[in-house]
Amino acid sequence: MSFPVRAITLDLDDTLWPFAPIGARIERVLDHWLRQHCPRTAARFPIPEMRALREQVFAENASLLHDLTGLRKLSLVRAMELSGDDPAHAEAAFEVFYAERNRVEFYDDAEHALERLAARVPVVALSNGNADLRVIGIDHHFAFSLGAREHGAAKPEPSIFHAACDRLGLPREQVLHVGDHVDMDVAGACRAGLRSCWLNRPDDADEVASWPHADIRPDLEFTTLAALADWLDTSHAATAAPTLESA
């Protein structure tokens, strides 16, 4: 399939890097910090209990699901208050969390593919997460970043997709959204009027998922970001090729 792409909006977690290893490392490092600075919190909320408390806080504050930073801080304050530690430590604990959150290990193809995409069209980071592109060191590849916290609503809400297109100054059908999540990324983009690309990376067993919806489908599906970069190169080359009239 070929269609005009004048810009790309790009998901981050599980698109450029896997998030599961980051999440596991955050839990270990934060637990170690709490044992040193907030021992009562660490004793009452070891990793599984801290995870359960965080999920409870998230569930109780559904109106803040676009603000993962705020929810993380709220979870830390709640844990410290319940344990008898000074909740003023929550800010320092969050800094520990955030440093680890921005230590990412890219998928093997991702960095070079991102560079190739950005050389073709403007690329916008469109994420529900709270990664810092400058700290990670890839902000120079992006025209801008639009996060759910900044916008006030998270994917798959159409408004965040529309805001990115408006800021780009482009019609929605000329913007391609790329991401791994079936509903938040692909279905969300389709329903917002953008083109969509499902990045369906193989799992640990080298198997890819099957598309689950009958009423909506992605415009493109690839197993690597490099394959999307190849498609974009070919698409742009075809567009730029001279016709008989112009030759």
Residue type present at position 232: L
Residue 161 sits in the same domain as residue 189: yes
Higher pLDDT among residues 200 and 238, named by residue: 200
pLDDT score for 240: 55
Say whether both 114 and 216 belong to one domain.
Answer: yes
Contact predicate 107/11, CB 8 Å = no
The confidence score (pLDDT) of residue 31 equals 98
Same domain (yes/no): 125, 30: no
Confidence of residue 239 (pLDDT cuts 50, 70, 90): low
At residue 243, the pLDDT reads: 42
Give the per-residue SS3 of the chain: CCCCCCEEEECCECCCECCHHHHHHHHHHHHHHHHHHCHHHHHHCCHHHHHHHHHHHHHHCHHHCCCHHHHHHHHHHHHHHHHCCCHHHHHHHHHHHHHHHCCCCCCCCHHHHHHHHHHHCCEEEEECCCCCHHHHCCHHHCCEEEEHHHHCCCCCCHHHHHHHHHHHCCCHHHEEEEECCHHHHHHHHHHCCCEEEEECCCCCCCCCCCCCCCCCCCCEEECCHHHHHHHHHHHHHHHHCCCCCCC
- Claim to verify: residue 115 and residue 165 sit in the same structural domain: yes
Domain match, 139 and 206 both: yes
pLDDT digits (tens, 9 = 90+) for 183-223: 999 999 999 999 999 999 999 889 999 999 999 999 999 99
For residue 149, the domain's CATH number is: 3.40.50.1000
User: What is the bridge-based pairing of β-strands 123-127 and 175-179?
Assistant: unpaired
Q: Would you say residue 128 has pLDDT above 70?
A: yes
Whole-structure pTM value:
0.92
pLDDT at 98: 97
Domain boundary among 66, 101, 136: 101
> Residues with Cβ < 8 Å from 114, sequence gap 6 or more?
10, 16, 123, 138, 141, 225
Report d(CA 70, CA 90) in Å as an integer.
11
**pLDDT on residue 235:** 87
* Count of structural domains within the chain: 2
Q: Decide if pLDDT at 101 tops 50.
A: yes
pLDDT tens-digit readout, 132-170: 999 999 999 999 999 999 999 999 999 999 999 999 999
Residues 11 and 28 grouped into a single domain: no
Q: What is the pLDDT of residue 238?
A: 67
Structural domain boundaries enclosing 90: 20-101
Q: Is the pLDDT score of 242 beyond 50?
A: no
Distance CA 199, CA 172 (A): 20
Are the CB atoms for 9 and 126 separated by under 8 Å?
A: yes
- The rounded mean pLDDT for the chain is 95
**Based on the domain organization, do 72 and 151 belong to the same domain?**
no
Backbone φ and ψ of 215, nearest 5°: -95, -5
Q: Which of 101, 121, 136 is the last residue of a domain?
A: 101
C-alpha closest to that of 125 among 240, 236, 12, 16: 12
